Structure 1
Amino acid sequence: MRPIVHQPLPAAIGHFPAALPDFSDTARWAQVLVQDSLNAPRYEPGDLLHVDLSRNYFAGDACYAVEIAGQQSIRFIQARPGGLHVYTRSNPGAAYPIPPDLLVILGMVMYATTTRRVG
């Protein structure tokens, strides 16, 4: 079987294309099936999230696969005054600060394969 080759989209005039990751390194990538609507409308049940396991640290405000007090989930993490805050996309106003010893970042969500129905 030949490896899958991912080609970047053509760049707009004056922009340089960013290199797409090589998904052939299976130890680096994980896939997570969304089963709840806590992060709707961005991620809905049935979406497949591609998680980069090599980014197991806070690299800026983004969506991460995390483990909080032994419970694994997909959450958005944001740096705010007073430390890191965790929230779901469907309720960003309910963000709460998290002590660093309770938060384990498993990887960063890089891409999502989504299916939306029309009509």
Structure 2
Amino acid sequence: MTPIVHQPMPAAIGHTTVPLPDFSDTARWGLVEVKDSLNAPRYEPGDLLHVDLRRNYFAGDACYAVEIAGQQSIRFIQARPGGLHVYTRSNPGAAYPIPPDLLVILGMVTYATTTRRVG
């Protein structure tokens, strides 16, 4: 996983951006480039994940940028009996429970910019 890069939110169609002197919106979004295939086929190397850094809490079963025991990664988190479980998309059967003191949620992956080759 590459370090999170802060990016401002793009302007909606038909609207012009208004400069913000405190750059408050740049702290909301981060981009992460996928470097491995642990979450394939959903996310593959070269994909850019858009992370909402304001959602730095568990908001339901989803994909998150997390820090587990000091290691940053992209993982799926799911609520199951007994607590939260962490897994990769390529191996959901290997989900494991995570103690709350070892898991830091950095943000929720909201969408991805993907490039797929055909042929």
Shorter chain as normaliser: what TM range? 0.7 to 0.9
Letter of the aligned partner of 1:31 in structure 2?
A: L
Partner of 2:54: 54
Equivalenced residue count is 101
SS in structure 2 of the partner of residue 5 of structure 1: coil
Q: Secondary structure of the equivalent of 2:26? A: coil
Distance 1:4 1:82, change over 3 A: closer
CA RMSD of aligned residues (A): 1.4
Specify the alignment match of 2:19 in structure 1.
none
Structure 2, unaligned stretches of length 5 or more? 1-8, 14-23
Query: 1:66 maps to which residue?
Result: 66
How big is each residue's C-alpha offset from its partner over 1:59-85, in whole Å with a ceiling of 9 and x where there is no partner? 000000000000000000000000000
Read off the aligned partner of 2:64 and give its amino acid letter: Y
List alignment gaps of at least 5 residues for structure 1: 8-23
1:106 aligns with 106
Cross-structure match for 1:96: 96
Tell me which stretches of 4 or more aligned residues in structure 1 moved more than 6 Å. none
- For residues 27-54 of structure 1, what are the alpha-carbon distances to aligned partners after superposition, in whole Å with 9 as ceiling and x for unaligned? 1000000000000000000000000000
Aligned partner of residue 40 in structure 2, secondary structure: coil
Identity of aligned residues (%): 89
CA shift at 1:26, angstroms? 1.3
